[in-house]
Amino acid sequence: MQPQDPNHRSRAKPRTKVFASIRNFFERFVGAFAALNYQYESKHRFLGLPLLSIDIGFDTKQQMRHARGWTAIGTRATGLFAFGFFMARGLFAVGALAIGIGTVSLASIGLITVSVFGVGFVSVSVFAFGYLAVGILAIGYKSVGIIAIGREVVGIIGVGTQVDSLFSP
């Protein structure tokens, strides 16, 4: 066994520095986000809901506040048009997690989804699941992707009954 050279760099140290810097970034991000505190509801209402509801931040129990209105913007948002930093639910929803008819998010469930991980009738996602799925991994009745699985398939690697691909298992 040879003695370690004092100038030799260990591979573990740069990795731990990278993970520490990523952790530090997220701690600062969450800390800065937790300091945000803004509430607004429009005076005009339709069917009991405000036309615009903005509710950003956390309440005293460190729970995410919830914006509810026809147009909702907040940490969590529910409305016809919902824009949530973490979660959004509505006819048209944009957020990290989204549920609705039309969604744009990191992870979503809806009729039409555009996301990283999407489940919907029409899903355009990195990992797409639905009747019409388009993505790197697409699983659906009709699917288009690098890896496509379904009945009617177009992809580099395709698995299905009607396959148009470069490689078929």
pLDDT digits (tens, 9 = 90+) for 66-116: 888 898 988 889 999 999 888 899 999 999 899 999 999 999 999 999 999
Is the pLDDT assigned to residue 169 strictly greater than 70?
no
Q: What are the tokens at 27?
A: 């701690």
Cα radius of gyration (the chain) = 23
Domain boundaries, the chain: 12-130
- Stated pTM of the model: 0.69
